[in-house]
A and B are shown apart, each in its own frame.
Chain A
Amino acid sequence: MLLEIRDIHVHYGKIAALKGITASVDEGEIVTLIGANGAGKTTTLKTISGLRSLTRGSIEFDGRDISKMPGHKRVLAGIGQSPEGRGIFPGMSVEENLLMGAFSRKDDASKELAEAYELFPRLAERKTQAGGTMSGGEQQMLAIGRALMAKPKVLLLDEPSMGLAPMLVQQIFSIIQEINRRGTTVLLVEQNAQQALQIAHRAYVLETGRVVKSAPASRLLDDPEVRAAYLGGELGEAAASPAAAPAPVDAPDPGATVTDAPASGAAPEGSEEDASS
């Protein structure tokens, strides 16, 4: 396993955000964490990249225990992240932003720079534009390109589709697949479960700081509970075959409990996605 997190607990003050998450990412995989708001997806990523410290558990990366390693050293170890809200440096130009991605590297980064421009031709057109003045989609491309500049072994992506138009979402996800094809392992956090499950190999479903389900992504796509909670299942199935209408929310399952709140919260998002695709 390239990245292995074991039973990590993270607290904000006295409030527990993660209550024992165990997950692993193998080399070459795309693994996704899905779940509603407040499930702990972003906190998990931040803990892996070192922005949050854990109170219990361990994180092992590339055979080493990195639980106590400061964040900037984890970059050198091979963890790259495109943070939530993209984290673009607004006053720096596109090129300066990309070069910041190579800050920790001592060697020449011109090859990675060329690769970033090749992956995102849009960025090449806007080299000198200030990062803060770009659109959301361009900023997301910049955030991903910047994270790749450090040649990470695993790329952590925090909601790359947030706030983007459906067409751009498609584009970003196909680029994520392309990055993975070129040999970078990807750990993807998404609220857009439909899209994430389509490109991922494996997935974990998070709920209030715990993993409630883990399975190959394709199986979760068909899982009635997951469909109901995160994919707008009822609406989608109702359109496809009215026979499958019985609400799966109440279906008992020993492995997981799906609450109503995320179901109602996620349903409109999923249905919107259905309409657009």
Chain B
Amino acid sequence: MNLSKNAEGARRGPGLSLDALRHWWAGAPGWARWVVYLLLIVVGVLLPSESIGSFMAPSGADWPSMLSSQIAIYVLLALGLNVVVGMAGLLDLGYVAFYAVGGYTIAIFATKYDWSFWQTLVLAIAFSALAGVILGAPTLRLRGDYLAIVTLGFGEIVKKTANNSSYVNGPRGVQGIPHPPTLSEFEIGGVQPLKYGLLDSRPYYYLLLAFIIVAIIFVRRLDKSRVGRAWASIREDEDAAELMGVPTFKFKLAAFAIGAAIGGSGGVVFASQQTSITPPNFDFLVSALILAGVVLGGSGNIPGVMLGAFVVAWLPERFRGLQDYRMLIFGAVLVLMMIFRPEGLWPSRQRKAELAEGTGGMGGLGAEVPGPGQAEAAAEVGK
């Protein structure tokens, strides 16, 4: 992955630059930012409406359920994976494992021990963060491609374990997962946003929207803090970060745990909406698509990865009419993106600078190619 980067990395594709917008945003007063945030939330709330759906969804498809069972989940997962890949620069190809841990936590505790949705949510977040630590502790000593391979394996292990464990019914999966309890019956504009049932998928969308907003606030505050600076330094040059006194291992582990926790919360909502989960729900393809969303959108930049995840989840559904060709076209779009806009649709400025420089560009998204002075690192990993 890294081999071509030095040559290609600095090439600027003909794409629109967002510098003017960024510039305005950097200088915008506090109230203007709040107005934008509020407008975005309003757009988020109105998104499932018919008028938007008639364009966004192919005819015959249910737009709110597309939103809740696919798009919003992907956006939430992308926010979580962005912590690992975009901020700390660790390539994780098994992110779906944490999504599965969340899903199976609610499946087991709600069907076997009658825990409520909210109790299992807390437990699932704790369990998936723990899974992140368990995966991270032995593997985060590896770098680049080596880490990617181990995480890929972890994703498969979780799926295979679920598939072969009679405790969770193996390949038949777990059925009868309860919906979240209805919080209130109040109705607004024809929706009962807090009544979770089988018929209306909009309440699940609003639940996910709330999760997404909480995740954005949490991740953004981290990014602007000392933790975010530590992650950026690890992503750009891990050895140099250690020399600056950054406890790199601890911060990498924290990134894994936080990313995993967000993924786990997505799994809980998914399971309780579907009411049944099976191991194929947690296929490698999900990891790959979410990673594609993160990279496509502009890894490291929160609005970027949300846009990327939205596109990745929405595009194949929207063009379902093209049948199997849609995946071909989707693949071609991804390839074209990597050629003309390798930094993503909406990259952060810092990421762009890293990519232009050519060595630290994708953080852990690539092998440590032994260049001058790096041969030792490769030799060390190879032992």
- Mark A residues whose CB is within 8 Å of B: 12-15, 17, 42-43, 49-52, 70-73, 75-76, 80-81, 83-85, 87-92, 96, 100-101, 103-105, 130, 132-133, 146-147, 150
Bound form: Cα–Cα A89–B360 in Å: 8
A169 to chain B, nearest CB (A): 18
A72 CB contact (under 8 Å) in B242, B359, B383: B242
| Residues of chain B in range 353-383 having any CB-CB distance to chain A below 8 Å | 353-354, 356-357, 359-361, 372-373, 376, 379-380, 382-383
Bound form: Cα–Cα A29–B13 in Å: 51
Bound form: Cα–Cα A80–B244 in Å: 8
Of residues B229, B244, B357, B380, which shows the largest number of chain A Cβ atoms within 10 Å of its Cβ? B244
In the complex, given contacts A12-B376, A83-B240, A130-B357, what are 10 additional A-B residue pairs having Cβ atoms less than 8 angstroms apart?
A: A12-B379, A13-B379, A13-B380, A49-B243, A52-B376, A85-B373, A90-B357, A100-B241, A132-B359, A133-B356
Bound form: Cα–Cα A115–B249 in Å: 31
**B350 within 8 A of partner (CB):** yes
Which of B230-238, B286-294, B303-311 lies on the face that meets chain A?
B230-238
Q: Do A91 and B236 touch (CB < 8 A)?
A: yes
Q: Do B379 and A15 touch (CB < 8 A)?
A: yes
Main secondary structure of the interface of B (DSSP, over half): helix
Q: Do B243 and A75 touch (CB < 8 A)?
A: yes
A50-B242, A51-B242, A90-B360 are known contacts. Are A130 and B379 too (CB-CB below 8 A)? no
- Mark B residues whose CB is within 8 Å of A: 226, 229-230, 232-233, 236-237, 239-249, 350-354, 356-357, 359-361, 372-373, 376, 379-380, 382-383
What would be 12 A-B contacts, judged by CB atoms less than 8 Å apart? A12-B379, A14-B383, A75-B243, A83-B239, A87-B240, A91-B352, A92-B236, A100-B233, A100-B244, A130-B350, A132-B356, A133-B356
Bound form: Cα–Cα A72–B230 in Å: 12
Q: Do B245 and A103 touch (CB < 8 A)?
A: yes
A91-B357, A130-B353 are known contacts. Are A51 and B244 too (CB-CB below 8 A)? no
Q: Do A72 and B240 touch (CB < 8 A)?
A: no
Q: Do A85 and B357 touch (CB < 8 A)?
A: no
A122 to chain B, nearest CB (A): 19
Q: Do B353 and A90 touch (CB < 8 A)?
A: yes
Q: Do B373 and A75 touch (CB < 8 A)?
A: no
B244 CB contact (under 8 Å) in A12, A15, A104, A133: A104
A85-B372, A91-B360, A92-B350 are known contacts. Are A104 and B245 too (CB-CB below 8 A)? yes
A116 to chain B, nearest CB (A): 14
Find chain A residues with CB under 8 A from B351 CB: 91
Q: Do A133 and B357 touch (CB < 8 A)?
A: yes
Find chain B residues with CB under 8 A from A49 CB: 243
Chain B residue with Cβ nearest A79 = B243
B226 to chain A, nearest CB (A): 8
Please report the number of residue pairs spanning A and B whose Cβ atoms sit closer than 8 angstroms: 111
B37 to chain A, nearest CB (A): 26
A13-B383, A84-B373, A103-B233 are known contacts. Are A91 and B242 too (CB-CB below 8 A)? no
Q: Do A91 and B382 touch (CB < 8 A)?
A: no
Q: Do B379 and A72 touch (CB < 8 A)?
A: no
Closest 7 CB pairs of A and B: A104-B245, A132-B357, A87-B240, A75-B245, A13-B383, A90-B357, A91-B350
A13-B379, A15-B379, A103-B233 are known contacts. Are A87 and B354 too (CB-CB below 8 A)? no
A13-B382, A84-B373, A92-B232 are known contacts. Are A70 and B247 too (CB-CB below 8 A)? yes
Q: Do A133 and B353 touch (CB < 8 A)?
A: yes
Find chain A residues with CB under 8 A from B357 CB: 90-91, 130, 132-133
Bound form: Cα–Cα A87–B247 in Å: 17
Find chain B residues with CB under 8 A from A88 CB: 237, 240
Q: Do B243 and A51 touch (CB < 8 A)?
A: yes
Q: Do B239 and A51 touch (CB < 8 A)?
A: yes
Chain B residue with Cβ nearest A104 = B245
Q: Do B372 and A103 touch (CB < 8 A)?
A: no
Bound form: Cα–Cα A80–B323 in Å: 60
B298 to chain A, nearest CB (A): 13
Find chain B residues with CB under 8 A from A71 CB: 242-243
Find chain A residues with CB under 8 A from B232 CB: 89, 91-92
B238 to chain A, nearest CB (A): 10
Bound form: Cα–Cα A75–B357 in Å: 27
Find chain B residues with CB under 8 A from A132 CB: 353-354, 356-357, 359-360
Bound form: Cα–Cα A14–B356 in Å: 37
A75 to chain B, nearest CB (A): 3
Bound form: Cα–Cα A103–B230 in Å: 8
Find chain A residues with CB under 8 A from B237 CB: 87-90
Of residues A12, A42, A89, A146, which shows the largest number of chain B Cβ atoms within 10 Å of its Cβ? A89
Q: Do A90 and B359 touch (CB < 8 A)?
A: yes
